Amino acid sequence: MTPQAATVVVDHASAQDYAAASELGDRCDKILLEQLRAGHPGAFEQLVASQASRLINLAYRLVGNRAEAEEIAQEGFLRLHRSLDGFRGDCSISSYLYRIVSRLAIDHLRREKLRRKLFFFRRQDDEVDPVEVSADPGASPRDLLQAKETGQRLLAALDRLSARQRAVFVLRHQEGLTLKEIAALLKLQEGTVKAHLHRAVRALRVELEDLQEDRS
């Protein structure tokens, strides 16, 4: 079998796997939805436990604070619960939750910006930084220090972006969504999403420039 033919077989198999997994996911969603609507004991808690990590991380990347991220994720689950009766199942439960949490996080960022503007409030520099939370336990003290500094600088730089620029950057760079998916999620034109991404990256490059020079 030529390498090309092998690739085709593998691609075909993975496409079948994906379709099967997707079908299985749809069926699981339907069962879960029925259980939730019927008030099945533990069904909602089980759903929350299975999605918690993904959604807390999404909110955390968007707002940069763990306590606020948990609060946002919690609110997302509560809203899903409140809208269960009207949930038609046009999209999967996980996509629905992802969308709610993204929008809640963006609203939260906007409110925070307005609050800071009104009350001259600034985020404390000594808050737990993102890199510290996920620090590699095997890293050297120098690496940890550098990672911490990069993390703090990134947070500070992200804080200076508008809520939409920050959301677009996080969703594209850290969550791996395509520009098309981001446009659908945030209800924006794809061109607008590109412009937000470009501005966000330009600002981040300026903020992180000296760190890059140190490394090189």
Partner 1 sequence: MKGIGAKHCRKEDLLLYYYDELDTQRRHELEAHLNGCAACGKEWQQLQRTLDGVPQPTIELASGEAERFAARVAERVQRPGRGKLWLWGGALTATVVLALSLTVRPPGMLPGKGSNLVADATIVQELELLQNMELLEELDLLQELEGQG
Site for partner 1 in 174-213 (CB under 8 A): 174, 178-179, 194, 197-198, 201-202, 204-205, 208-209, 211-212
Decide if residue 86 touches partner 1 (CB under 8 A). Answer: yes
Decide if residue 7 touches partner 1 (CB under 8 A). Answer: no
For 49-90, give the DSSP string. HHHHHHHHHHHHHHHS-HHHHHHHHHHHHHHHHHTTTT---S
Q: Coil, strand or helix: which one is 122?
A: coil
User: φ, ψ for residue 152 (rounded to 5)?
Assistant: -65, -40
Token output for 128: 């737990």
Token output for 7: 């690739």
Residues 94, 98: Cα–Cα separation, whole Å: 6
Give the single-character DSSP code of 187.
Answer: T
Please pick, from the candidates 46, 94, 162, 192, the single residue that binds partner 1 as defined by CB under 8 A: 46
User: In this structure, which amino acid lies at residue 185?
Assistant: L
Task: Return the range that interacts with partner 1 (CB under 8 A); candidates 12-20, 23-31, 60-68, 160-168.
Answer: 60-68
Task: Return the range that interacts with partner 1 (CB under 8 A); candidates 11-19, 20-28, 128-136, 160-168.
Answer: 128-136
Decide if residue 105 touches partner 1 (CB under 8 A). Answer: no
Residue written as token pair 């969504």: 177
Give the Cβ contact number of residue 185 at 10 Å. 20
Decide if residue 109 touches partner 1 (CB under 8 A). Answer: no
For partner 1, the closer CB: 35 or 174: 174
Closest C-alpha among 32, 185, 196, 170 to residue 98: 185
Q: How far is the CB of 140 from partner 1 (least distance, A)?
A: 16
Residues that bind partner 1 (CB under 8 A): 44-46, 48-50, 52-53, 56-57, 60-61, 64, 66, 69-70, 73-74, 77-79, 81-83, 86-91, 96, 99-100, 103-104, 107, 111, 114-115, 118, 130-131, 133-134, 147, 150-151, 154, 172-174, 178-179, 194, 197-198, 201-202, 204-205, 208-209, 211-212, 215-216
